[in-house]
Structures are given as C-alpha cells and as structure tokens.
Structure 1
C-alpha cells in the first residue's frame, strides 16, 4: 500500500504546525520521522492515522484521497494499526482480549482473519513472544511486555500501515535495545509499512529504511540512514543527527583549510553540502577526528574535559575560539596539547583561495 502526502499544511489558529509537506511511503517501507519536540512529526502521524484533518493539501492511500481540507476518512476505515507512547492498554482486558479487539472491531479486517480469529491471535502472540502470558492482565506485565501487547494489538488485523508514536520513550535503555530488535523482527515478518515517530537519533538510524528529518513543520532532509548520518545537507541535520562539530575555515578549489591549522593540509570537499561551503564551515563528527600528540600537521587544541566511556573517551578540545567534541580510544589528560586531523587527506603545496 503506497501513501502520498501532497503539499500538506496544518494550522492550529495562527500556529503553522506543518508547511507544504510532500512525502511518499512505499509498500513495506520503514520510515522514521525524526526531529525535536514541536517540529510537527506527531501532527504528521496523526494525519496519517485520521485523527487530524489538513488545512490544505491531500493524503492518498492506494491512490484514494483519505484526507484533505474538504473531507476525512476515519481511522477505522484506513486499515492502519497504531502503537502509542504510553501503551494505552485497557485495564479490564487481558492480553488475549487486547489482540482480539481490533480483529472484531476494525472494519477493514480481512475476512480470512475474522473467520480464523483464534488462530490469528495465537500466531500474533507467538510472533511477539507472549503466548505464555495470554491470560495476564496489564497490571501483571512489565513495561516491555506491555509494549509487546501494544504491538500485537496494532498488527492483529493485518494493517497495511503501522504507525508508531515514540513507542520506546518510556522504557529504560536496555529494554529499548531489546524492543528495537522486536520491532525490526515484526517488520520483517509482517512487511507492513511502518511510520515511526521519534526524537531519538539512534532509534531512527538503527531501524529505518529511510529517515525524514523535520524542523519547524518542514522536511529538512530525507534519505537513508547512511545518507543522513554521513552526508548532512544543513547545519541542523549535521548537529541534530550526526552531533557534528562545525569547524570554521576557508574553502578553496583544493579543499577546506580550517582556521588555526598549522600547515596547508586541506580537508577534502567531496560530498560536502554546498550549504557548508557557502558558510565557511566543515561538519566533522566526533568520531571522525584523528587525535595525535606528536604532530603539527593539523588543527591545534588543548584537552579541556575528559569523559571515560569504556572502550573510548569523549573529549572536549579547545581550539582557538571553538570547543570541539572528539571521540577517540587514545588516552589523554586534561591540559594535553593535541592535533586534530581528518584521515586520508592529501597534502597540497600551497593555499589558493577563491
């Protein structure tokens, strides 16, 4: 089931929550909507679900208009499943009954599932690892088990589109890692399209086929996790997703020369967005820097802070007026003088500024 959003706008009074959003979601695709609070990602999800109506533009599912300024197809007629941030389980229903509910009540549930209800429920519970807990009540379940129930309920009627609104934000760190694997497994086995809203960059990078980065109600950048992480197109994406340092300097035909570098070793400009070249900056991820204490070929700095992280250290390096974050396995002390460089750079004989 393909989904198209065409020029979607949404206003709440004078506040413009969404501004001309265009997006296509392919059948079976896992799309993560990533952005900070207030960027419009949950409003976008609610429109896909049928809870909100666009102020302008239209949403098409299988080339049928389901939402526009003139009309709205209700959620129960869209063949969707939804997983909420707070689980939203009913306290008077056991696990089996939660999975049974959408099969009996969703108008778009296929007849093949309705006619074999018990088998479908058992298959879904087995898929999420809850077969042995089918008679448990919500208050008898752990946080991870409750989230599995929410996922099982969402996929029970075999939706073509599964919507997830920050489903792991209320879980602890270890449990979130486990649930990521569960959601990926469910996606592989059901092949439903998934739209997954999150503000957690690691979740989006780990699970999605494609990431949509949003800012101020608009799409800032869309691409594969690798494209978004390695090749940000704007300062916002570079900082929000890659946690990049924006090093100041000068762009030349030969590459980038950072301010404060002792020698003329340029940093390559391949695949760097024109945005950064126009603004005299270069995005460098914390793990991209090479640290050395016995070289002058690079950007000079002093260790201002150290955080030990087991197999690596997180350093704050003061270089001129800039403070840069660097992740490295090299052990250093506060006050040490270091040189920062980007690996695999090619030396040039002289600077030739444009």
Structure 2
C-alpha cells in the first residue's frame, strides 16, 4: 500500500509553506521527515492526514486520490492512524477502551478484525506490553506508558499509513531512548508504512529506512541514514545532520581536495562529495574525521571550548575565519582551552605521494 505525494505546494496567504513536494512511500517503509522548526514538515503531515488541503498537487494513499487542489478527503475517510505529540488520550477511557475504540469505528477495518475484535485487542496489548495495565486510566500511567497507549490505538486497525508527529518530544532523554526501541520493535512486528516527523536528527538516523531532509518548504535530500550522513548533497544537510564542518579550499579533481588554510600542504584524496558542494569549493568533514596534535602541520587553531561527553571529548577550535568542531576519543590525554593545535584529516596524503583511500 504505497503513498504518493505529487508536486504538492501549500500557501498560507503570501507564505509558501511547501514548494512542489514529490515523494513516494513504499509499503512497510519507515520514512522520517527531518528539519528545523518552520521547514514545512508538520504542514506536510497535516496534508497526509487530511487536516488541511494542498494549494497545488495531489496525494494518493493506497492508489486512492485523497487530496488535490483545495479538496481533501477528511481524516476519518482515510486509511490512516495518527500518533500525536501530546498523546491525545481520552481521560474517561481506560487503556483497553482506547485500543478498542478504533476497532469499533475505523472505516477500513478488515473483516477478520471485525469478527475478532477482542483477539486483536489482546494482540495489540501484547505488542506494546501493556497487558497488566489494560484497566488503568490515563492519569494512572507514566509518560512512556501513555505513549504506548497512543501507539497501540493507532496500530490496532492496521492502517495503510501510520503518521507520527514528533511523538517523543515531550519525554525525557532516557525515556526517548527507550521509546525509540519500542517504535523500532513495533515497526518490525507490524510492518506498517510510517511517516515520522521530527527535528531530532538522532531519532531520524536511528529509526528510519529513509530520511527526507526539509528546509524552507523544500526537500533538500532523500536517502538512507547512511547516505544522508556520509554524502550530504547540500550545505544545509551537511550542517544540520551530523554537524559537519564545511572546509574551504580547492577541488583538484572530483575526489581530491586541497584545503585553503596556511601551513597545510596535504591533499585529501579519494573523497566522495556531492557536485553541489564541489562547485562551491567546500568539503564537508564530520567532527570524528579530524584529529588534533600539538606538533607537525595541519590547519592551525586555538581551542576555545572543551566538553567531556563520556567516551568522547568535543573540542571547538578557532582557526581564524571560523570555528571547527572535533570529536576525539576520551581515552587520549585531553587538550585544554587556549592550547595551540594542528588539525588534520585522519588518513591524509602529501601532494607528492600516491593517493590512499579515506573513509
């Protein structure tokens, strides 16, 4: 049951919230829509849910046209499930009644579920591990348990498309990690098609089959988490996902880069960088791909900030025109604020030596 978004745009007065969005979601695929506040990701989710209509374009769910210009099939007539940021639980219903409700009222409920509602109810309770909480009311549940109820209610009728609007943002850090595992397990069991809106890059990288990175109402890049992280197409993707350093210099050829900073004579070779970034004479380097030293050659700089992060130490180094972020293993002797250091790419080459692979 695929979902197709074709050339969808959305205007709010003079504001162009979405600009010609085209995206195909495969059956059973987990798609994360990632971007900063105001990028259009929630607007897109509302159009998929039927809470709003597109100004231009079309949306198909399970080959059925559900949205077109200024017309939209209402949410209750779409084969979808929805998980809200605020849980949206009904205070007068216990856990079991929350899950039973869509089984009684969902328009697209399959015949086998209609005749086995109680069996499906028990099955869903087992999936989200809430068997012993079936009779509890929302006010008797923890934040994580409430989120499980919201997930259970959404998956109970086996919708063609499951929409999640930043479902973990109201939870504390430890609980968010736990719920990520729950959602991964849930997807593995149900194989539901999921569209998951988030501004948290860690969530997107951990959960999604593919990530849709958005900014200013446009899709910047679509790819697997590894593709997005290892080969960002644009400056925005490079700096928003993984916080890459954008190094200025000159591309000697399609895979060899010469940084343009004083006291560095190395070429960085066998790099796989997008054509868009090469045209701008930029090379995205992740913080963990750099190393620091007190002697030798490299990009010169002064350490301005040190943050201990357990297995890593995060350094901010002032190189004059800009700041560079570097992550080093904390098992090594730490550098200190105001230390003068040299920055090198791990596995660099000299310009007069044979190329070696950098990964």
| TM > 0.5 | yes
Within a 5 Å distance, the mapping from 1:27-106 to structure 2 comes to 27-69=27-69, 71-106=71-106
Please tell me whether the aligned partners of residues 260 and 320 of structure 1 are also in contact (alpha carbons under 8 angstroms).
Answer: no
* Farther off after superposition, 151-160 or 248-257: 248-257
* Farther off after superposition, 242-251 or 175-184: 242-251
* Farther off after superposition, 255-264 or 80-89: 255-264
SS at match of 1:242: coil
> Which of 336, 343, 348 lines up with 2:339 in the alignment?
336
Query: How far apart, in 1, do the equivalents of 2:243 and 2:74 lie?
Result: 40
Deviation at 1:313, TM superposition (A): 0.8
Within a 5 Å distance, the mapping from 1:278-289 to structure 2 comes to 278-289=279-290
Please tell me whether the aligned partners of residues 35 and 214 of structure 1 are also in contact (alpha carbons under 8 angstroms).
Answer: yes
Deviation at 1:340, TM superposition (A): 1.2
* Farther off after superposition, 246-255 or 201-210: 246-255
Query: How far apart, in 2, do the equivalents of 1:84 and 1:282 lie?
Result: 39
Match of 2:199 in 1: 199
Match of 1:276 in 2: 277
Structure 1 runs (4+) greater than 3 angstroms displaced: none
1:112-164 CA distances to partner (integer Å, 9 max, x unpaired)? 11211111111101100100000000000000000000000000111121100
Give the paired residue count: 349
Within a 5 Å distance, the mapping from 1:248-287 to structure 2 comes to 248-253=248-253, 255-268=256-269, 270-287=271-288
Query: How far apart, in 2, do the equivalents of 1:195 and 1:312 lie?
Result: 32
Query: How far apart, in 2, do the equivalents of 1:25 and 1:246 lie?
Result: 32
> Which of 351, 354, 357 lines up with 1:348 in the alignment?
351
Please tell me whether the aligned partners of residues 264 and 349 of structure 1 are also in contact (alpha carbons under 8 angstroms).
Answer: no
SS at match of 2:60: strand
Query: How far apart, in 1, do the equivalents of 2:36 and 2:69 lie?
Result: 27
Within a 5 Å distance, the mapping from 1:1-354 to structure 2 comes to 1-69=1-69, 71-253=71-253, 255-268=256-269, 270-296=271-297, 298-329=298-329, 330=332, 331-349=334-352
Deviation at 1:70, TM superposition (A): 5.4
Query: How far apart, in 2, do the equivalents of 1:152 and 1:268 lie?
Result: 50
SS at match of 1:42: helix
Report the TM-score, using the length of structure 1 for normalisation: 0.95
Deviation at 1:61, TM superposition (A): 1.8
Query: How far apart, in 2, do the equivalents of 1:121 and 1:260 lie?
Result: 64
Please tell me whether the aligned partners of residues 54 and 71 of structure 2 are also in contact (alpha carbons under 8 angstroms).
Answer: no
1:4-38 CA distances to partner (integer Å, 9 max, x unpaired)? 11100111122111110000000000000000111
* Farther off after superposition, 62-71 or 179-188: 62-71
Alpha-carbon RMSD: 1.4
Please tell me whether the aligned partners of residues 9 and 19 of structure 2 are also in contact (alpha carbons under 8 angstroms).
Answer: yes
Query: How far apart, in 2, do the equivalents of 1:208 and 1:19 lie?
Result: 23
Please tell me whether the aligned partners of residues 62 and 160 of structure 2 are also in contact (alpha carbons under 8 angstroms).
Answer: no
Deviation at 1:261, TM superposition (A): 4.3
Query: How far apart, in 1, do the equivalents of 2:60 and 2:200 lie?
Result: 28
1:269-306 CA distances to partner (integer Å, 9 max, x unpaired)? 6321122222222111111112222322x212221211
Structure 1: 5+ residue stretches without partners: none
Match of 2:356 in 1: none
Deviation at 1:310, TM superposition (A): 1.6
Query: How far apart, in 2, do the equivalents of 1:234 and 1:71 lie?
Result: 34
